[in-house]
Amino acid sequence: MTPLYILTKKEYVQMFREFKIIWLPLVFMFLGATQPVVTYYLPSILAALGGNQGITIDPSMTQQDGAQVIAATLGSQFDQLGIMIIVISMMGIIQSDKANGMLDFILTRPVKVGAYIGGKLLSNFSFIAISVMLGYFVSYVYVNFLFNNIPFLEMILAIVFYLIWVLFILCFTFMISTIFNGQGVIALISIVCLLIFKIFSGLHPIIDLLNPAGMSQHAMMVLITGSIDSHLYGNMFITLVWITLTVTFSHYWISEKKYHKN
Amino acid sequence: MKLHYGLNDFKDIDWLAVLQIAAPFIVVGLILILIALFDLYRHRNERSNVLLWTIVILFFNTIGPILYFTIGRKGEKPNEVRN
């Protein structure tokens, strides 16, 4: 019964009470299913909308590869709506504890700041990772059903790389939630910064190396090309450094009690 | 673009093929709506704009329940651990 275990359990009880444990996986399953189904029906949709305007569709163009569809699930569903939903559901992770005095109360007990941060990150990351993986597997099942099969190993590798980017999203939101006090400000700053990271990924190899969103790009590349890019390990290392930096900064901010309003 | 469909066009749709693909969407959407409505009903005395949220949950499919869960759960009891 270490403090880490108790704090992790408390977070899970909280998620259960808020029904978060049900709706967040459902939302990710919905996002994961959207991309394959819309891509599958795209020729019919185009035909229904542009049928009498002389638009014809080359049948060979509409034959999409399954790997491309599942990569598009990661790139255009999880990286846009998914980021927003993760940030909005996690924006109160520290802020609400600050607002109702729970953080001050916990720190009067013999609990280390590290155990508090660890419990928060462990519970929330394990939960988000399971949600994202569920959504991804739903997408995988749909792609296998509607398109062609994807090699199992590449699928697993891609989701592992993608989860490192998800861990960065969580740690970044965590840091912003520690520093600022308004929920709207936290959501705005986190979403804008993370989407800017995402936009800058893929522009230039050197920028990609420093950019945590490069992990998402690499996950898509593994799916599409089936081989691991040589820059991946450097990018993974630098992303882990970024994660360590954000967590260290949050640790410093809480242990120095800088979160008090002036 | 054909805008007007008659009742006879229903027969032309291959319902089995459509349902195979659409059923998970319907189930997920329904579960989300039911959980959101259940939560709203349980806390009906503590929430503001209960009627407005009911309409949003019922008619804005899948986005409505998500909005309720993320930003609609305000105004709970002040002694709860997290609001």
**Residue B21 burial (C-beta neighbours within 10 Å; 0-12, 13-18, 19+):** middle
B contacts of A50 (beta carbons < 8 Å): 1
**pLDDT mean across residues, chain A:** 87
Domain ranges of chain B: 7-72
What is the C-alpha to C-alpha distance for residues A145 and A202, in angstroms, rounded to an integer? 30
**Per-residue pLDDT band at A59 (split at 50, 70, 90):** low
Q: Do A135 and B24 form a contact (C-beta atoms < 8 A)? A: no
Dump pLDDT digits (tens) for A97-146. Answer: 888 888 888 888 888 888 899 999 999 999 999 999 999 999 999 998 88
- Say whether pLDDT at A73 is over 60: yes
Structure-block tokens of residue B12: 């032309």
What is the C-alpha to C-alpha distance for residues B1 and A110, in angstroms, rounded to an integer? 70
Residue among B1, B24, B81 whose CB faces A52 most closely: B1
Residue to mutate among A12, A26, A139, with most B CBs inside 10 A, is A26
The interface predicted TM-score of the complex, written ipTM, equals 0.78
B contacts of A48 (beta carbons < 8 Å): 1-2
Q: Do A19 and B71 touch (CB under 8 A)?
A: no
When comparing pLDDT for B13 and A8, which is higher?
A8
The verdict on pTM exceeding 0.80 is yes
When comparing pLDDT for A204 and A30, which is higher?
A30
Q: Do A100 and B82 touch (CB under 8 A)?
A: yes
Q: Could you report how far apart the first and last alpha carbons of chain A are, in Å?
A: 36
Amino acid letter, A187: A
Q: Do A132 and A162 form a contact (C-beta atoms < 8 A)? A: yes
B contacts of A29 (beta carbons < 8 Å): 24, 28
| Sequential DSSP letters for A97-130 | HHHTTHHHHHHHSS--HHHHHHHHHHHHHHHHHH
Q: What is the pLDDT along chain B (83 residues), one digit of tens a residue?
A: 566 777 777 777 777 777 878 888 888 889 999 999 998 888 888 777 888 889 988 988 888 888 888 877 765 554 455 54
